[in-house]
Structures are given as structure tokens and as C-alpha cells.
Structure 1
Amino acid sequence: MRLILNSFTFAIILTPLVFSSSVSLGDGFYLPTLENIEIHIDNLWANFKKGYNIGYNATAEEIHRFKIFANHVKMIIKHNVEHDLGLHTFRLGINKFATLTNEEFRQQYNGYRRPKDSRKQYSDIRHSHIFSASYTTLPVSIDWRDRGIVTPVKDQAQCGSCWAFSTTGALEGFHARSSGKLVSLSEQQLVDCSSHWGNNGCNGGLMDNAFKYVHENKGIDDESTYPYVGKDEAACKFRRKSVASTCDGFVDIPQGNETALQEALAFQG
């Protein structure tokens, strides 16, 4: 049972501080209100551990994680009640990260590393006129998922490889627009093979470094050929016969230039 709690609704009665009774989410699972969370939190914790197949060898560690989990649940409930009052535009739900502190999450998943001289370092392969749409009216909105050029949501696991997923996401969209074929590209190849271009695998990296690697390597494999394992592998397993896409160049959108950001999103994907 996956406890992704993002489809329930709280009823607000009398005042914003008085909430309805617990709301069923199926399979006998209930998200408590702030009023009765202490009564139900143990059952919620048991269902969470079962749903994500989580176990702890040490009692002290489980107590520590339980406290973090309980605080997150309270924050989620409070936020979603405020959402129903019109104070927020989005709802929150429990997921597998509910036992991590914010600092732990940043350490494990935020692997973006930007060197100060990166803009100068890679100017040799950037195309300064990849997009120029000043003569074209920008759309009010666009969702490339509806156009079939966005791959399904991926999970980087406990590896600081967000930079690799950002790289493949950009390449996948551009490749789909130019070829008509949506192909999931290999983040693991970038993790394993681009260290000589300045990346550090699960310890962080930069999209510019990855683009330069794909450009000079003359390609990147698809996901099925070079699947993601979420850790640093000992050797690069790139196979040229499995190349699914290439990178001719890239452009960094100027910081603070929302028009350039709109153009890139609207016309590049």
C-alpha cells in the first residue's frame, strides 16, 4: 500500500480551528485531524512502514524517525486545512521522504554543483541562437506533457544525481520534438561516465558538464540499455551501438530574464 495522501478533502466547520472527523483514504487507512492525531499516529506509522517496507534494527533510530514522521504529518494536515481556506494553491501528502529531516533530504537528493566559471568554461559548444522567438507571440500557457514529450516521473533514490535527471529531461524533450519519438535516456550513464567533465556522480554535478559530456561523447544511451541503479558504479558501461540521442549545443538562460525563460519553455520544451 503506497501512502500518497494527496486526494483527500478536509471539511471546515464553525471556525478554521475546528475540523471534521478523520477522512478515509481506502483500505481502512485514515489521516487524522490535528485534534485526534495523537490517538491515530501509531497506526499511521505502522501503515507507513508496511507500505514502504521500512524496518529499523535499533529502537533509538525508530523513535527518532517516528518523531520526524509525526511532525511532518502535523505539518501536512495543517497545510491542507489552510489550502481549503484558500491560503495555499497546492496540497501536501505523505511519501517515502516523511522520515527525513530537511537537512537530510538536501544532503541526499540535492546534488546540484555549479562552479563559478562554468559559463566561460563551456562557451565553445553553446549555440547563442538556438532559440529566438522575439517575432513570435508567446502562448499564455503550455503543458508539454499533453504533447507527449515528457517521460514519466523518475526517482533518483538516495543519490545526489538531480543534475543528471535535469540533463536527460531537457534532452528527452528536445529529442522528442525533433524526432517525434519520446525516449527515456540514461541518467546512470551520466553518473558513471562524466566525471572527467567535472561531475561527481552521486555526490553532485552540473547540467552544463553533462551536456558537454554527451556532446563530446557523441551520444547517450537509452534507459533500457543503461538502467538507473541510484549509486556510483565502478566502471562506465556506455555502448555506442545503443546511442539514443546526442547534444549539438546548449544555452544557459540569463539569470532573471523571464522572457528568455518563457521562450525556452514555449519553443524548446
Structure 2
Amino acid sequence: MLLLKLTSLVVLIHLAQSLSLQELTRDEWEAFKVSHGKVYRNNVEEQFRRKIYLENRRKIAAHNKFAKHPFRLVMNKFGDMLPHEFAKVHNGLRVPKNHTLLRMGVGSFLPPANVNVPESVDWREKGYVTPVKDQKQCGSCWAFSSTGALEGQIFRKTGKLVSLSEQNLVDCSGKYENNGCEGGLPDNAFNYVRSNGGIDTELSYPYEAKDSKCRYNVSNKGGYDTGFMDVKRGDEEMLKTAVATVGPISVGIDASHESLQFYSEGIYHEEKCSSTELDHAVLVVGYGTENGEDYWIVKNSWSSKWGEDGYIRMARNRNNTCGIATLPSYPMV
């Protein structure tokens, strides 16, 4: 009789714990939907998304459990998306196979003579960088990387920080081998701005996160360039010097991993990252060192709610992490 009672008690406790867990995950799911404005077409889709959310939740917890990881993950608005879905709509760097032959910038960056490169740089502190933006569900990262680099160079020359129009690039640079929300390349964007004679301000030509008709208006021009410069491919020391002496630099990275999708804080180093298969354009705005670990300060375009207020610190001097030094360039103003 005593054994039967003990067995019944164990079953009841297990059942209560299971129900509590179900209620907890249900409450979390409802909070996730409300927090991120998630609306699904029907119950079938919602249950599908909920399963993805729970699996992502499990992976995030597993990653954070191990202290060896120098960075942490957190659930965010991308929690109901599969990795390939996420990459398709939130990345967008498209690098032609023969791109090294096609890079037709003004030339290659040469480090200035007799300049001592500082151990740390953060161009946000000097006024070179506009607030973090959000590309939303449009593969226009290349446009945000381009405007960020151009905004920095215009500030360097004029002392005025002007937010430039990504939508202008999305809508108008198709003839320069960009493809709007389906992807593009900062170098092509710089070529468009040079040939077009300018780019409109964000205020006059706001972002829509979709392909639209070109509406460039020269009277709303906020900036221009005369071409672009490449930084030596794969050379992190050269990239460091360029960032220190020029300003924010456009780069491409491999952003195809879930660890980046849910990055929260810390110095990011993904062992599976490729240094050649690049699919996302971002902006290097500085660099530094923390507890002996070198890092790049990188501005992303997934909103200020992602990462470290919209930024990520990526490992520096660790074999060109995620290809950050593979495709650097900046516009000439």
C-alpha cells in the first residue's frame, strides 16, 4: 500500500511539473507574439512557428550553458524562423564569382606614412555614425552598409552627420548589378552614387523595406562619392589601419549561422564560419581589446533590439573571423 501511494505521488508530481512547463512555454509563446507583433494566418502556421520557437529556445539555452563560449545568445524577434528563412530575408550580400576581377574602385588603400595606429578606435564617439537602422524583411543589408560608410566619409569631410537613403539605393541601382531586396553589393552602390551624382537623404526618401520605383530627386541630395577604395583582401592589420585612419568601412561576413541570428553580447567567434562564403554586409566602426581578446565593433542593420544595441563585437586577429577582412571597401568623397 505504501509503495502504491509513493508511486502515485511521483506520478502526480511529474504530471504537475509537465503541466507547469506547458503553461510556462505557452505563456512565453504568448508573450513572444505580443512583444514582436507576431500574427499568423491560421492555427496550422502558428503551431509550426511555435515548434520552431521552442527548438530555437532549446538551442539558445544549450549554448549559454557552456561557459567556454565568449558570447551569449538570447531569444529575439527572429525566434520563429528557420535558419534558411532568416538568411534569405535578412542577409542579402551577393558577391559575383568573378568579383575580384570586377572591382573597379579608384584604387587600393595605402596606409599613410608616419602614423601610429591607436590600440582602440570607436567612431561612434566621434560623431561619424548614425543610429542603428532596421532593414526588416528585405535583403538590403548591402544598402545599409553602403550608406553607413558614406555617412562617415561625409561627416569626415564636412563635420555634418546626414542619414542617407537606403531606399534610394534599393530602388535605383539596378543597372549597377544590385537587385533591391534580393541582394546587392556595396561596391555597386558606390558606383551608382558616383555615376548618379549623389544620393538623397533618408528624410526625403524614407525606407520602405520593399522594391519600388526610383524617385531620386537631386534637390534632396544628401551626399555623393567619387568612387571607392578597396582594402587589401584578408589582411586584418590593413583593415585596422584603414578603420583608424579613414573611418567606418563596409565589409562582408558569413552570417549564415544561428549563433549570429540570436547573438546578444560578448565577442563573437563562430568556428563554423567561412572566410570566403559571404552573405551579409555590415559596417566596421571601430576595434578594441577586452580581457586580452581583440575585437571589431560592427554596426548591423537588424534594429537596435538585436545584439549589443544593434552592434556586434566580432573576434579580431583570429584568422579573419567570418571573412570580415575579405571584402572591405569605402567610398571616396
Normalised by the size of structure 1, how large is the TM-score? 0.80
2: CA distance, partners of 1:88 / 1:151: 31
Alignment-derived partner of residue 156 in structure 1: 135
Alignment-derived partner of residue 252 in structure 1: 230
Aligned counterpart for 1:126 among listed residues 106, 110, 132: 106
1: CA distance, partners of 2:140 / 2:21: 36
SS in 2 for 1:105: helix
One-letter amino acid matched to 1:100: M
SS in 2 for 1:91: strand
Shift of 1:50: 1.0
Shift of 1:80: 3.0
2: CA distance, partners of 1:170 / 1:222: 14
1:111 aligns with 2:92: yes
More contact order relative to length (CA 8 Å, sep ≥ 6): 2
Distance 1:161 1:154, change over 3 A: same
Contact 1:159–1:231 under 8 Å retained in 2: yes
One-letter amino acid matched to 1:147: K
Distance 1:134 1:258, change over 3 A: farther
1: CA distance, partners of 2:61 / 2:103: 46
Aligned counterpart for 1:224 among listed residues 192, 203, 224: 203
1:237 aligns with 2:215: yes
Contact 1:127–1:249 under 8 Å retained in 2: no
2: CA distance, partners of 1:133 / 1:39: 62
Structure with greater strand share of residues: 2
Question: What stretches of structure 1 move > 6 A for 4+ residues in a row?
Answer: none
Aligned counterpart for 1:62 among listed residues 43, 46, 49: 46
After superposition, give the CA deviation of every residue in 1:142-180 in whole Å (9 maximum; x if it has no partner).
111111211111111111111111111111111112211
Alignment-derived partner of residue 94 in structure 1: 75
1:146 aligns with 2:125: yes
After superposition, give the CA deviation of every residue in 1:163-207 in whole Å (9 maximum; x if it has no partner).
111111111111112211111110000000000111110111111
Distance 1:161 1:200, change over 3 A: same
1: CA distance, partners of 2:41 / 2:235: 51
After superposition, give the CA deviation of every residue in 1:1-48 in whole Å (9 maximum; x if it has no partner).
xxxxxxxxxxxxxxxxxxxxxxxxxxxxxxxxxxx8555111000011
One-letter amino acid matched to 1:247: D
Distance 1:189 1:43, change over 3 A: same
Shift of 1:122: 4.4
1:261 aligns with 2:234: no
One-letter amino acid matched to 2:116: T
After superposition, give the CA deviation of every residue in 1:198-251 in whole Å (9 maximum; x if it has no partner).
111011111111000001111111100000000000x20101011111112212
Identity rate, percent: 45
SS in 2 for 1:248: coil
1: CA distance, partners of 2:36 / 2:233: 40
Normalised by the size of structure 2, how large is the TM-score? 0.65
SS in 1 for 2:78: coil
One-letter amino acid matched to 1:46: E
SS in 1 for 2:125: coil
Contact 2:200–2:221 under 8 Å retained in 1: yes
1: CA distance, partners of 2:43 / 2:50: 10
Alignment-derived partner of residue 277 in structure 2: none
One-letter amino acid matched to 2:108: S
Distance 1:45 1:216, change over 3 A: same
One-letter amino acid matched to 2:221: V
One-letter amino acid matched to 2:28: L
Q: Identify unmatched segments of 5+ residues in structure 1.
A: 1-35
Distance 1:38 1:141, change over 3 A: farther
Shift of 1:94: 2.0
2: CA distance, partners of 1:198 / 1:106: 20
2: CA distance, partners of 1:94 / 1:201: 29
